[in-house]
């Protein structure tokens, strides 16, 4: 079997971590059972480009149990948990191409290797796999039925491809399912980002000025958790409506140029580039910490920081200390890559359960639906979103009410007022 991983002997540790994650993934567990019985993905070649974590491993196991022929590569050079590829290769016979810390060239070679079997379905996180099929492996396009996309950044890229008329197969935006972004983006990013910052630095959050750039679902989650830990949260935004939300949620809102001078920790979650840049680094206090939790490492202008600096040294595993010309030090975490996956373990399994249930059921839906979908970006079908919500709620031991007949009638009848 073809694969490229760091160390096959780490497989037993990876298997234990997969099992640990599975305990908090009851919805995916149910899907595994159904897939194992019904084999809805029999013989379907799937190329997946995802963060190679214990949660992703459980999704790969589900697809394989469903009969799929899966290959997996990393969606970020720093997010792979090296014991997981080992477990997938050794115990599940799934070809994996991912090594934590792989360089740029290896990252793209791994994507090409994951595509080598000629997929019918692509499963992406950030749209690099789709971008490679549309550039270097266009020969594969006629064989690809459809794809799925996990994250906000990927969905934005794909929508722009669809707008430009260059997207060559339909893709489901898993990110946009309610059971995905309302939970994974908010509670997952909220918790795992602080986990990453804390593992990297061990700073005390209480009393710190914590600047969150971007108040989408991810920014909301980070701000909420940082505030809960006692930090004084400052939000920067370009969207006036989100900025009002941030103010009414109790945070200070100001431009980055103003926040730069007072922040202790800066965290970007915008999906855009150069959100923290030259003029901001120049204003920062000595010892400022800068990190990113957006998908790509472009949100912090690292080339500008390099130019401004006399030198840099690695002072902790995930901390690079840059010394500016005036002697001031700026600390960049995790090379500006997703800090929750670079320095910690990504979102907890409890929340990835719903995200990956959406992935698995969306693939099944695409196969059932077959050819004929427009070459554009589709939402997760509502019935899938609601079924996942119902299963998750039941797994958490929570129950909800049902509408009475009179209430249903009331909702349907415009005549009844006070």
User: Rule CB under 6 A: which residues touch ligand ADE?
Assistant: 50-51, 53, 55-56, 188, 341, 346-347, 352
- State the minimum distance, in angstroms, from the CB of residue 152 to ligand ADE: 11
For ligand ADE, give the closer residue by CB, 51 or 392: 51
Q: How far apart are CA 384 and CA 390, in angstroms?
A: 10
Query: What are the residues whose beta carbons fall under 8 Å from the beta carbon of 380, sequence distance 6 or more?
Result: 172, 173, 174, 176, 177, 180, 358, 361, 362
Cβ contact 195:340 at 8 Å: yes
Residue number, 58 or 236, with CB nearest to ligand ADE: 58
Choice between 253 and 350, CB closer to ligand ADE:
350
Tell me whether residue 221 or residue 263 sits nearer to ligand ADE (CB atom).
221
The rounded distance, in Å, linking the Cα atoms of 358 and 344 is 24
- Minimum distance between the CB of residue 175 and ligand ADE, rounded to whole angstroms? 11
Contacts of 375 (CB under 8 A, 6+ apart): 162, 167, 168, 169, 170
CA dist 29 and 32 (Å) reads 5
Q: Which is nearer to ligand ADE, 56 or 148 (CB)?
A: 56
Helices (H) and strands (E) in the chain, counts: 18, 15
Residue nearest to ligand ADE (CB): 346
Alpha helices, DSSP H, located in 121-274: 128-133, 152-163, 178-180, 189-201, 217-228, 240-248, 256-262
Tell me the C-alpha distance between 409 and 47, whole Å.
48
Give the closest residue to 151 by CA, choosing from 136, 173, 129. Answer: 173
**Minimum CB distance to ligand ADE smaller for 171 or for 305:** 171
Sort residue 89 into left (φ over 0), alpha (ψ -120 to 50) or beta: alpha
In the complex, least distance from residue 57 CB atom to ligand ADE, rounded to whole angstroms: 9
Q: Considering the complex, what minimum distance in angstroms separates the CB of residue 353 from ligand ADE? A: 10
Q: What's the N-to-C CA distance of the chain in angstroms? A: 70
Minimum gap (Å) between residue 344 Cβ and ligand ADE: 9
Smallest separation, CB 307 to ligand ADE (Å): 31
Q: In the complex, what is the shortest distance from the CB of residue 172 to ligand ADE, in angstroms, rounded to a whole number? A: 17
Q: Which is nearer to ligand ADE, 342 or 352 (CB)?
A: 352
Nearer to ligand ADE, 309 or 359 (CB): 359
Based on the number of CB atoms within 10 Å of its own CB, is 303 exposed (0-12), middle (13-18) or buried (19 or more)?
A: exposed
User: Shortest Cβ distance from residue 55 to ligand ADE (Å)?
Assistant: 4
């Amino acid at each position: 079997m073809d694969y490229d991983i760091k160390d096959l002997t780490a497989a037993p540790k990876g298997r234990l971590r997969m099992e640990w994650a599975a305990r908090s993934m009851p919805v995916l567990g149910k899907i595994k059972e159904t897939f194992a019985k019904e084999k809805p993905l029999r013989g379907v070649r799937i190329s997946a480009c995802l963060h190679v974590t214990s949660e992703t491993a459980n999704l790969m196991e589900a697809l394989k149990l469903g009969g799929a022929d899966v290959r997996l590569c990393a969606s970020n050079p720093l997010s792979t948990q090296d014991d997981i590829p080992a477990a997938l290769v050794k115990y599940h016979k799934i070809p994996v191409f991912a090594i934590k810390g792989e360089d740029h060239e290896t990252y793209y070679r791994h994507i090409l290797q994951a595509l080598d079997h000629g997929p019918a379905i692509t499963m992406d996180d950030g749209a690099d796999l789709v971008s490679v099929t549309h550039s270097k492996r266009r020969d594969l396009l006629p064989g690809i039925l459809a794809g799925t996309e996990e994250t906000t950044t990927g969905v934005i890229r794909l929508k722009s491809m669809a707008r430009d008329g260059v997207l060559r197969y339909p893709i489901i935006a898993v990110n946009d399912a309610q059971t995905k972004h309302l939970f994974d983006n908010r509670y997952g990013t909220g918790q795992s980002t602080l986990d990453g910052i804390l593992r990297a630095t061990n700073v005390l959050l209480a009393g710190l000025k914590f600047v969150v750039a971007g108040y989408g679902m991810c920014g909301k989650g980070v701000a909420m958790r940082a505030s809960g830990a006692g930090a004084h949260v400052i939000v920067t935004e370009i969207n006036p409506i989100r900025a009002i939300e941030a103010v009414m949620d109790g945070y200070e809102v100001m431009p980055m140029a103003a926040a730069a001078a007072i922040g202790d920790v800066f965290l970007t979650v915008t999906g855009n580039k150069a959100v923290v840049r030259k003029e901001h680094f120049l204003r920062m206090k000595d010892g400022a910490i800068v990190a990113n939790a957006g998908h790509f490492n472009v949100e912090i202008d690292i080339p500008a920081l390099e130019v401004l600096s006399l030198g840099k040294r690695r002072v902790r595993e995930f901390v690079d200390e840059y010394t500016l010309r005036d002697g001031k030090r700026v600390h960049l975490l995790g090379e500006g890559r997703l800090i929750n996956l670079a320095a910690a373990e990504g979102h907890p399994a409890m929340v990835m359960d719903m995200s990956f249930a959406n992935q698995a059921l969306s693939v099944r839906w695409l196969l059932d639906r077959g050819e004929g979908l427009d070459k554009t970006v589709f939402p997760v079908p509502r019935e899938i979103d609601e079924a996942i919500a119902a299963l998750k709620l039941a797994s958490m031991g929570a129950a909800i009410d049902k509408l009475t007949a009179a209430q249903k009638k009331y909702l349907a009848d415009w005549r009844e007022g006070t």
